[in-house]
A and B are shown apart, each in its own frame.
Chain A
Amino acid sequence: MAYRAEPPDGGWGWMVVLSAFFQSALVFGVLRSFGVFFVEFVAAFEEPAARVSWIASIGIAVQQFGSPVGSALSTKFGPRPAVMTGGILTALGMLLASFATSLTHLYLSIGLLSGSGWALTFTPTLACLSRYFSRRRSLAMGLALTGVGLSSFAFAPLFQWLLNHYAWRGALLLVSALSLHLVACGALLRPLSLAEDPVVGGPGAQITSLLRHGPFLRYTVALTLINTGYFIPYVHLVAHLRDLGWDPLPAAFLLSVAAISDLVGRVASGWLGDAVPGPVARLLMLWTTLTGVILALYPVAEAPTGLVALTMAYGFTSGALTPVAFSVLPELVGTGKIYCGLGLVQMVESIGGLLGAPLSGKGNKISRWAMAAVFYHGGCRGELI
């Protein structure tokens, strides 16, 4: 029985980074670009757009809530079987969706089935990644998560092309084939046993010990608060710009700018997280404080240049906090419990995400930004403790 004392920090770990890159692309890139399908669904099923967008909401909710299940499975059986099963489930969901005759059919096949597939892939992969790295963990995380941003650029035109040539049924079939590559990514996740593994025990024991771990709980609450504020700017930025008199095309372009700076922020923060000595939690505090400040400035900025600068800064800082947030967890709970830890965190923070967007819809323009800023500050206070 040979257990490693230290994570390898390289070697096969870079293949895991590659796998995580493609996985985050296939999970979240597909989710983000699904909007092009929604237009087709509205026309095909003659349902309002609000009902059609529930497909994505159900998918995301299932992915988040199902994360503990994914992490429990990967603790017990290793990440590879869990991710490969998840890949098959996702592809199956999309395949069945191509035969859909009603919107409910789509809720069940894409929302429930593919959502649970995503739940089984995303969390185990990131957890596996953090087990493979310790010194360069943040960088590895940052690189892996760039898959999300890049795939949104690639998949939206690809999906539109598929729709033009095969209509939505054929396009869903081919997206299903695309999602099958998750199985291949899962095959890359060679299991790793670290010294802590026998000590921490099975998933049940891990979860109970985590729930009694003070810092872990505080961290979870902090991340939940951050997650609540995370989507408010993305959801309301375009509306805010249109209120100020911007045309739709420049407003959409500004979103792309935010996406690019988000990408840059992820990698830069990942590199920074490893280069700077000391606990990574301090960096997380830094980024969340900055993001909160930037958001608080939004109601004040009127001039286009100010808004562009603010959006770029917001993209950068919010992208920056993502890899750091994931990197703090292993330091907090140890690499042995990382699967379960991440699963629990994802589940709890999804509550914040679900609440955030509707809550912000209630207030007026200024209160929205203030709310987001408050959430971020709350998050960073959590870190302080």
Chain B
Amino acid sequence: MRALQGLRGPRAPSLPLLLLCFLAALRRSLEHGLSTAAPFKSLPVQEEMMTKYSNLSLESHNISVTAAPFTSLPVQEEMMTKSSNLSLESHSISMTAAPFTSLPVQEEMMTKSSNLSLESHSISMTVEHSNMPVEKNITLERPSNVELICQFTPSGDLNSVNVTWKKGDKLLEGNYLVNATGGILYTQHRVAVINSKQMGSYSCFFGEKKQQRGTFNLKVPEINGQNKPLITYLGDSVVLMCKCQDCLPLNWTWYGGNGSVQVPIGVPVNDKYVISGKHANETRLKITQLSEDDQGTYLCHAIFELGESEGHVKLVVLSYLVPLKVFCAIAAEVVLLVAAILLFEMYTQKKKKPSDDGKEFEQGEQLKLDDSNGIENSGPRHRKNESVGQ
């Protein structure tokens, strides 16, 4: 019976509707969360109006830590009005620690307009795991407001906890808020990320007997090159591709070269290199007339507003001789096999009927199916067949 034909795969469904519902649900839960604050006594209230850059997104990241309860704290309320096209991202990391005493608390109420997207992440840590670094990677593509929140549950006194923020190794002054509700210490730091200078590692430190640390790593999106090396042959042409999953870089550039020297490709536009890309999130480099020198690792640079990212593609150029040698070896093996089989057959025929001088050659390699050959062959073959059946 015949062989299997290829299978047709089904079409994949798309989920735009589901995404919209999810966002709507999250937004509703955020508003609900902000309104349920813990009860507190009368406290000084500071109102602050902040004007924001337009077209900025707000990202809020929390780090929270499990710990013991704490007493009532002064509360500061903050009202902010925002412009449109803002997104709110909220990320949390939690850690366990000792309790602390009353601390100034700042609450923030934010009213949002439409086009809001909300992201909320949280990591929790217990006191047994305080040796493990608590880190969170955040991928940013466009300039936005980023809100980093650390939640810390201390085991001892709330007041004795010292809260600091650092970017890299530099201590950050001012604009971070500390809140204490229900036994958990919250600290929040807002960063307006406009260019690559604001990207990097931000850490919150809770100073106690043992310092607890949570880190947020702000990075640009990663680019996927190709993990496996691309094999090509001399004189052939190849297409190198770099792709970014969910991001849209401003620009792509290609660099190639052997060793440490990185030479930009395509700068003098020529036939050998053609850079193209069907969609904004991918780039293709077509190289024609490959030679040995084209071997090596190629880098595709994606330029974002907030920095650069790169992917690697490794190219290997082989000569035709490499598989050809294997081919010749196998062909020689087949010839030997055929010769062995035919010789064995002749040998057994000769052993059985030494007097019979009919030849039973079929030259398999140089077969010419002309009539004379056919007639010749059928005669002796029939004579031999008595001995068949070993």
Contact = CB atoms under 8 A, between A and B. Distances in A.
Interface string A152-173: 1000000000001111011101
A32 B382 contact: no
A84 B228 contact: no
Interface string A169-189: 111011011101101101110
Contacts, number: 167
Interface in B1-28: 1-10
Contact of B331 (A38, A171, A180, A248): A180
Contacts of A193: 381-382, 385
B235 to A, nearest CB: 11
Interface stretch (B66-74, B98-106, B256-264, B338-346): B338-346
Interface in A186-216: 186-188, 190-193
B232 interface: yes
Nearest to B349: A190
Given A64-B2, A176-B327, A234-B4, 11 more contacts: A2-B386, A60-B2, A81-B369, A84-B364, A88-B367, A167-B232, A177-B331, A191-B385, A231-B4, A238-B7, A243-B10
B361 to A, nearest CB: 11
**Among B6, B232, B378, B382, residue most surrounded by chain A Cβ atoms (within 10 Å):** B6
A210 B388 CA distance: 29
Given A166-B318, A174-B330, A187 B341 contact: yes
Interface string A23-42: 00001100110010010000
Contacts of A227: 1-2
Contact of B389 (A11, A181, A184): A11
11 contacts: A1-B383, A27-B3, A32-B4, A164-B231, A166-B318, A167-B230, A171-B323, A173-B326, A180-B331, A186-B364, A248-B9
B376 to A, nearest CB: 10
A239 interface: yes
A184 B335 CA distance: 8
Contact of A4 (B236, B330, B385): B385
Nearest to B336: A184
For the complex of A and B, 7 pairs with smallest distance between CB atoms: A170-B323, A177-B330, A84-B364, A11-B389, A167-B231, A31-B3, A8-B389
Given A173-B323, A174-B330, A177-B330, A184 B337 contact: yes
Interface in B349-375: 362, 364-365, 367, 369, 374
B390 interface: yes
Contacts of A234: 4-5, 7
Contact of A184 (B341, B377, B385): B341
B365 to A, nearest CB: 8
Interface stretch (A70-78, A277-285, A286-294, A301-309): A70-78
A3 B5 contact: no
A353 B378 CA distance: 36
A230 B4 CA distance: 10
A81 B8 contact: no
Contact of A187 (B342, B369, B383, B389): B342
Interface string A346-359: 00001001000100
Interface in A1-29: 1-4, 8, 10-13, 27-28
A242 interface: yes
A173 B338 contact: no
Most buried by A among B324, B338, B365, B369: B338
